[in-house]
Structure 1
Amino acid sequence: MKYKERPSAIEATQWFKNGDHPKDDRETFTGSDGKPFLGEGKVVRYYRDPDVDGQTKCENCGSIMHNHGWIDQVNDLVVCPGDFVVSIMFGRYRVEKPNIFDITYEKCE
């Protein structure tokens, strides 16, 4: 049997850096030096892995891991700069590469 996807609208945001997602709602903190700084996003957090140095290049995009984001859920997701963060059911997300996103979706109002 063949199936086709039902036409539907999705919510998605192209992510380039921490704070890009509209639901990130970053808080401002005061650093030990007394200067304000923005915390990480609530949807796309800072990438961190104790086994991977932040200067390591990503196998998918070639950018250093320090420039990446992280979505903390059951199957943790790494977000490369330029990836689309797609909202799915129940406050969960998936990540799609721009080339796949562009052939799958078109902008609607």
Structure 2
Amino acid sequence: MPSYRKKPVEIEASQWFKLGDHPSVEPYADQLGVVKGIGPYGWITTLEGGHIVSPGDWIIRGIKGELYPCKPDIFAATYDESPSTAMSFSAALAIVKAGGRVARAGWNGKGMFIYLNKGSFPHELLGFEAGATPVAGHPSTIDGVSLGLFECGDRGTAIRLPNINMRSASGAIVTGWLASQTDTLAEDWEVV
């Protein structure tokens, strides 16, 4: 018989000990809906039907968003905690300046992120060819901002300084996003 290896997949999981630990675990009840007094068990509805949840079980959100319980020994043999990818605002800002997108794990909206909208200047201003892109870290600046954060515009283009934009949960773009004090002090920034 051929053998197979499980694909590496990141999941979300939390350990359950009592009612109230996970919003999807309900009191254990019989088929008539009568709550059973058989100990500290819970009940979770899965794609395969309902399952009893025992104290110490892990509640896993699978790759399709489905929830299911897993015994602690099976969980320990199958999963390792993912290394944290969280970072400070200054580290996140460096990624944005390099052309990446970042978001806070603490933001409520799904799909939100911030990114750099490069500035523009007339190419003849500093002797560039039309359409050229200054390299990151270029020593010249406009209003103190490195030319690496600009694109060369056509002759006569107005100087437009770079700014940070945000994609909101609805998909709308917020031009000129400003970080709150909490955003600047947070340590939960992640690359998206």
Q: Same fold (TM over 0.5)?
A: yes
- Counterpart position of 2:16: 15
Aligned residues of 2:28 and 2:43 also touching (Cα < 8 A): yes
Distance change (3 Å), C-alpha of 1:4 and 1:17 = same
The 5 A counterparts of 1:80-95 are 80-95=54-69
Larger radius of gyration: 2
Q: Is 1:45–2:46 an aligned residue pair?
A: no
Q: Secondary structure at the match of 2:49?
A: coil
**Larger relative contact order, structure 1 or 2 (CA cutoff 8 Å, min sep 6):** 1
CA RMSD of aligned residues (A): 2.0
What is the alpha-carbon distance in structure 1 between the residues aligned to residue 35 and residue 25 of structure 2? 18
Structure 2: unaligned runs, 5 residues or longer:
85-192
What is the alpha-carbon distance in structure 2 between the residues aligned to residue 4 and residue 76 of structure 1? 28
The 5 A counterparts of 1:59-78 are 64=39, 67-73=40-46, 74-78=48-52
Distance change (3 Å), C-alpha of 1:91 and 1:48 = same
Between the aligned residues of both structures, percent identity stands at: 39
The number of residue pairs the alignment matches comes to 79
The Cα of 1:90 is off from its aligned counterpart by: 4.1
TM-score when normalising by structure 1: 0.63
Q: 1:106 aligns with which of 74, 77, 80?
A: 80
Distance change (3 Å), C-alpha of 1:76 and 1:17 = same
Q: Is 1:54–2:37 an aligned residue pair?
A: yes
The Cα of 1:91 is off from its aligned counterpart by: 3.8
Q: List per-residue Cα deviations over 1:41-92 (Å, max 9, x = no partner).
A: xx1111111588413xxxxxxxx2xx11111345101100100011124442
| Bigger strand share | 2
